[in-house]
Amino acid sequence: MALSGRFLEECRRLAGPGRVLTGEAALTAYDSDALTHGHHRPEAVVLPGSVEELKAVLALARGEDAPVTLRGAGTGLSGGAAAAQGGLLVHCSRLRRILSIDPLNLVAEVEPGVVNAALNRALEPHGLFFPPDPSSGFASTLGGNVAENAGGIRCFKYGVTAAYVLGMEVVTPAGECATLGGPAGGLGPALGAPWKSLFVGSEGLLGAIVRLWLRLRPLPESHRTFLATFPDVGGATAAVVDLVHHPLTPVAVELMDPNCVRLVELSPFKAGLDPGSWALLAEIAGPAELVEAAAPSLEARLRRHGPGSLRSTGDPSERLRLWKARKVGGGLPGQVSPDVMVQDAVIPRTRLAEVLAEVARESEAEGIPVIHLFHAGDGNLHPNFMFDARVPGQAEAVRRLGRRLMEKVVAVGGTLTGEHGVGSDKMEYLPLLFGPAEMAAQSAVASAFNPEHRLNPGKLLPGRRFRPGRAGPGTAA
């Protein structure tokens, strides 16, 4: 083991004996995030219980010259929270206090390990909510959401995580604290506030986020949810493009392909969707009278594109059932396939049908089934390629599909990630988008905060190669 006994002893003294994991079984649980086809085992996992402990651990890691990977809930889908070069993994799940809710100022102050859904449960009695809602929100942490600039179903109307970060406290790789923005950080030109933006979407490369001031919104008075089914991709995607122009701006515009609908309907979360059709789920929200007045014009937009069926509901339990079906849909491919590669990109909405048709053609030619469900209003694409890495040639076929998808995405004016980040998964595609000067500028920003490239090496940007032999026995390339 490359981490020294003295270093691990010091970590145990700081965090407590049960809070430093080095056993094979425990480390196995950390050898990937939710992108499970690569394995990168850390040499040790530490679970600090306070900011002071985390600071001291980072300072110790610097003395040890060890690579450090930060982890929230490990639900990321680009390999970001896996220890690509072994070393120390810092799991932030014990930093999970909601420090304050200020209903009058619409601000919550939280530690990074607070789970997204736990914050929303705490906000509900105040009549408030935190809008960004990744479908993993029942497990994913706010620190992980900010580090990935997470999106979600209702982000079409409300915007992604970046729009809700007022300020944060971070610990630098040298073990020092810095405050960027604050509770008023997003409300005016607050001194220092723009720096926080660098940390939103920084994928754990710049520093550890240890405290967040988040912007809240009042819960809407009323919702109406629409379910339309379409026999083909053309009608479904044309309806998406039409819906986003509705004057009430829908909260959500989501698509599931017929394969995804079939899986949902075979699961305990079936919601009466029509297997064999594309399902479009949309929602509007606001004052009850406004929502009811707007519903007919939204339905008219859906009808224009030849839906096989169309219904809407304002009933809270039916609405919950429909959204639950959509949210669990993301996890179902993994239950029926030995391996799944979820790709993630964003393209102009008007090119959705063309790119989806190309993905269908190419995956059929490679003999790799694909399932789609995605935040269509945002122009996101999430093909789930289903394969079995034990079958010779399948992993390579999926890699080819991923590369061709990214080439197409860039060719139609899109970009390499809609919300899952670059992590270790997408680094090879960066040259499709950035030239040497752009790469150098981005690397210079990372180096300013993380000069020794200690934090999350092997992710997002090319960085340092720590001495070989660090990675544990479960490691694959």
**Contacting residues toward ligand FAD, per CB under 6 A:** 33-34, 69-77, 80-81, 92, 112, 134-136, 140-141, 143-145, 147-148, 150-152, 203-204, 208-209, 330-331, 419-420, 456
State the minimum distance, in angstroms, from the CB of residue 140 to ligand FAD: 3
Q: What is the DSSP string of 111-143?
A: -TT-BHHHHHHHHGGGTEE-----TTTTT-BHH
Q: Which is nearer to ligand FAD, 212 or 368 (CB)?
A: 212
Gyration radius of the chain's alpha carbons: 22
Distances from the Cα of 270 to the Cα of 47, 260, 264, 335, angstroms: 38, 11, 5, 15
Q: Which is nearer to ligand FAD, 87 or 151 (CB)?
A: 151
State the minimum distance, in angstroms, from the CB of residue 231 to ligand FAD: 26
Which amino acid, 348? P
Q: Which is nearer to ligand FAD, 100 or 335 (CB)?
A: 335
Q: Which is nearer to ligand FAD, 40 or 301 (CB)?
A: 40
Contacts 24+ apart (CB under 8 A), 183-186: 183/102, 183/105, 183/107, 183/109, 183/213, 185/213, 186/215
Q: What is the DSSP string of 362-395?
A: HHHHHT--EEEEE-GGGTEE-EEEEE-TTSTTHH
Report whether 112 contacts 209 (CB < 8 A).
yes
Q: In angstroms, rounded to a whole number, what is the distance separating the alpha carbons of residues 29 and 33? A: 9
Q: Which is nearer to ligand FAD, 307 or 330 (CB)?
A: 330
State the minimum distance, in angstroms, from the CB of residue 424 to ligand FAD: 9
Task: Label residue 412 exposed, middle or buried (CB < 10 Å: 0-12, 13-18, 19+).
Answer: middle
3-class state of residue 158 by DSSP: helix
State the minimum distance, in angstroms, from the CB of residue 251 to ligand FAD: 14
State the minimum distance, in angstroms, from the CB of residue 419 to ligand FAD: 3
Q: Between 352-366 and 394-411, two packed helices, what is the crossing angle to 10 degrees?
A: 160
Q: Which is nearer to ligand FAD, 307 or 456 (CB)?
A: 456
Q: Which is nearer to ligand FAD, 64 or 148 (CB)?
A: 148
On the CB side of 42, CA atoms within 13 Å amount to: 30
What residue number has its CB nearest to ligand FAD? Answer: 144
Residue 366: name the closest of 346, 345, 391 by CA. Answer: 391
Q: In angstroms, rounded to a whole number, what is the distance separating the alpha carbons of residues 79 and 420? A: 9
Q: Which is nearer to ligand FAD, 198 or 395 (CB)?
A: 198
